């Protein structure tokens, strides 16, 4: 065996000599070419994954959220509700191209970006190494756009069936610039106050948007519901979903699209994306079981609406943690979220009496807050070694790993998201209300937003001859 080992070692030593003889001694250039080809292949693979992820996240808004929310409202409001999601795919894209992307990812200030990338200036095929070194910055830009689109669309669930379409558009434009862009910069932008990897004062772990997307949208939804007041007839009149089937299909599309949302946030097609993918699926499954199980015990029957609501709650809660936790903690986060969000929707909303039409706060605001805090508990460096000392040694990530201070950082991040959402949303609502008005008239609300705002109906029933 020793002689065989020596023979193999000698053959390995002779390979460079043979290569040198064949290539005229140009081994360094061959190695350089091989390295370039490897980097090119990695870039192509990462770019393909990120483009697919961007498409998956866009699918979450339309058709996912459009169907999910559309099925939950009364028949006379189905098109108006779905139109909220669809039109924001267009409007937010324009805002993002003009200034939104730059405000979120330009510059390096603690609170908001600059206009360095305004009108997508300098956003091309070259990577931005601050954010993703193996994909074109244009890919990173369009991927982040899909998050900017779905976030205000989530808010629409709180004011469904009673806000003017024109008011919704103005509100969304202002909210995207005043609330979303600064929060995105603070958490994900270079030098942002809460950025955990690029110099943040309070490093908050938010892998895919627990604070940026769900807390801001959910809390803003609660403010909208309180400011606009209840729908005419609520809660005395029964207002059941007109089509749980539509919502069921929408929830399934959200579940699939969420893999792009969370696993895509790895910004590369590597093991971290796999870990986030697994965590996402496990949490959604556990939350669906948790919500349906509690509902079953309380009401004697598990409803389809409860099961799909639970799955969405689990997806919301795992969003900030997806790139930092192992599969078993992901199951725990999902199970806790399913039970907690059920309690928020079935108990707390009824007790406090606010009319959050489609439970945007109960699922996204409450679930996002819970998930952000639990991230500080369950995060481990074995999944994502994000914290390192001056010598490059990996440090503990979460409470259970020995970093108790991280829970405080998570609380700071959540608190800032709450304050920004409350103050920003309230100010915007007052401005819009004072200028063009927020609510439709009682007559228009009774007629339905499909006809009063769009002049069409979602369903036309023809009498048989």
How does pLDDT run across 63-121, given as a tens digit for each residue? 999 999 999 999 999 999 999 999 999 999 999 999 999 999 999 999 999 999 999 99
**Alpha carbon distance 170, 438 (integer Å):** 10
Q: Specify the 3-state DSSP secondary structure of 375.
A: helix
Question: pLDDT tens digits for 11-61?
Answer: 544 444 444 555 555 788 878 887 878 788 899 999 999 999 999 999 999
CA distances, 448 to each of 73, 164, 442, 443 (Å): 11, 11, 10, 9
Q: Which helix (H) or strand (E) holds 41?
A: helix 27-59
Contact 246, 71 (CB under 8 A): yes
Cα–Cα distances (Å) from 51 to 46, 138, 221, 454, in that order, read 9, 10, 30, 33
Q: Which of 5, 2, 462, 424 is nearest to 219 (CA)?
A: 424
pLDDT tens by residue, the chain, 465 residues:
455 445 454 454 444 444 455 555 578 887 888 787 878 889 999 999 999 999 999 999 999 999 999 999 999 999 999 999 999 999 999 999 999 999 999 999 999 999 999 999 999 999 999 999 999 999 999 999 999 999 999 999 999 999 999 999 999 999 999 999 999 999 999 999 999 999 899 999 999 999 999 999 999 999 999 999 999 999 999 999 999 999 999 999 999 999 999 999 999 999 999 999 999 999 999 999 999 999 999 999 999 999 999 999 999 999 999 999 999 999 999 999 999 999 999 999 999 999 999 999 999 999 999 999 999 999 999 999 999 999 999 999 999 999 999 999 999 999 999 999 999 999 999 999 999 999 999 999 999 999 999 999 999 876 554
Q: Are 113 and 188 in contact (CB under 8 A)?
A: no
Q: Which pLDDT belongs to residue 22?
A: 52
Per-residue pLDDT at 19: 47
CA distance 376 to 408: 8
Sign of CA dihedral 303, 305, 306, 308: positive
Query: What pLDDT, on the 0 to 100 scale, is given for residue 4?
Result: 47
Taking the C-alpha atoms of residue 203 and residue 161, their distance in angstroms, rounded to an integer, is 39
Q: How far is CA 270 from CA 37, 267, 275, in A?
A: 18, 9, 9
pLDDT of residue 37: 80
pLDDT, residue 6, reads: 52
Share of the chain above pLDDT 70, in %: 94
Q: Please give the Cα distance from 341 to 104 (Å, whole number).
A: 30
pLDDT of the residue at 5: 45
């Amino acid at each position: 065996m020793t002689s065989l080992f020596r023979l193999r070692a000698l053959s390995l030593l002779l390979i460079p000599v043979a290569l040198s003889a064949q290539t005229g001694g140009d081994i360094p250039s061959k190695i350089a070419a091989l390295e370039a080809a490897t980097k090119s292949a990695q870039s192509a693979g990462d770019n393909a994954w990120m483009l697919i992820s961007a498409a998956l996240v866009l699918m979450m808004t339309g058709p996912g959220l459009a169907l999910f929310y559309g099925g939950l409202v009364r028949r006379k409001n189905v098109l108006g509700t779905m139109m909220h999601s669809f039109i924001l795919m267009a409007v937010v894209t324009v805002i993002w191209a003009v200034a939104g992307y730059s405000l979120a990812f330009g510059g390096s200030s603690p609170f908001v970006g600059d206009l360095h990338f305004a009108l997508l200036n300098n956003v091309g095929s070259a990577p931005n190494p601050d954010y993703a070194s193996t994909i074109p910055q244009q890919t990173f830009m369009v991927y982040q756009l899909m998050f900017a689109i779905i976030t205000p669309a989530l808010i629409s669930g709180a004011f469904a069936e009673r806000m003017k379409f024109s008011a919704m558009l103005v509100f969304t434009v202002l909210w995207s610039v005043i609330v979303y862009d600064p929060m995105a910069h603070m958490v994900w932008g270079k030098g942002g106050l809460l950025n955990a990897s690029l110099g943040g004062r309070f490093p908050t772990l938010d892998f895919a948007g627990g604070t940026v997307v769900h807390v801001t949208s959910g809390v803003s939804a609660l403010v909208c519901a309180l400011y606009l007041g209840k729908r005419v007839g609520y809660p005395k009149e029964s207002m059941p979903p007109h089509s749980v089937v539509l919502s069921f299909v929408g929830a399934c599309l959200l579940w699939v699209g969420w893999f792009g949302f969370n696993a895509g946030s790895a910004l590369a097609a590597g093991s971290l994306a796999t870990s986030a993918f697994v965590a996402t699926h496990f949490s959604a499954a556990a939350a669906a079981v948790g919500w349906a199980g509690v509902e079953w015990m309380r009401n004697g029957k598990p409803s389809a609406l409860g099961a799909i609501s639970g799955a969405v709650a689990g997806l919301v809660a795992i969003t900030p943690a997806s790139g930092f936790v192992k599969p078993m903690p992901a199951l725990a986060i999902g199970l806790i979220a399913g039970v907690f969000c059920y309690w928020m929707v079935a108990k707390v909303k009824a007790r406090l009496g606010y009319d959050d039409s489609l439970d945007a706060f109960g699922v996204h605001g409450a679930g996002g807050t819970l998930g952000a805090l639990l991230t500080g508990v369950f995060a481990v460096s074995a999944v994502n070694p994000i914290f390192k000392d001056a010598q490059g040694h990996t440090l503990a990530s979460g409470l259970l790993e020995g970093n108790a201070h991280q829970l405080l950082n998570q609380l700071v991040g959540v608190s800032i998201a709450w304050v920004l959402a409350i103050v920003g949303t309230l100010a915007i609502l007052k401005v819009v209300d004072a200028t063009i008005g927020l609510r439709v008239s009682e007559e228009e609300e009774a007629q339905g937003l499909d006809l009063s705002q769009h002049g069409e109906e979602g369903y036309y029933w023809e009498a048989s001859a």
